Amino acid sequence: MQVKEHNSIFGMLYDIPKLLTIPEEDLHQQCRALETVLTHDDMRNIDASDLGDELTALSRYISGGSTPKAVLEYMCTNKMTTLFPNAFVALRILLTLPVTAASGERSFSKLQLIKTHPRSTM
């Protein structure tokens, strides 16, 4: 469930070169959704309309199959962070979010602890 929600919000940032092929209105809609998630009270981390334009321009520089980390490294290496400030912030947030399904893993690790106690006392 969390992974699907994460993908619906940040999915466009995983394949930036592909953004040239989607309709501009769809891109701006996804950017508005991201802006809404990254807004607290009156403080916004990104501007949706600027982010859409930045991602369109940035996608021309990035080769296909580039990961978000590779895009961020490319931006830092080529000193493009001030050219694309909203994309820079969005990528940094994406790459620092912990996305995992640890609850299932935790239940299995607890099960192993429970099973080993009776075995060791027999």
Average pLDDT over every residue of 39-62? 89
The per-residue pLDDT for 79 is 93
Phi, psi of 75, deg, nearest 5: -65, -40
pLDDT at 121: 65
Least confident of 16-20, 31-35, 100-104: 100-104
Give the C-alpha separation, 110 to 122, whole Å.
20
Using the Cα atoms of residue 102, residue 107, residue 110 and residue 116 in order, give the sign of their dihedral. negative
Mean pLDDT of 70-91: 92
Instruction: Report which residue type is found at 72.
Output: L
Q: At what angle do helices 24-37 and 2-10 cross, to 10 degrees?
A: 120
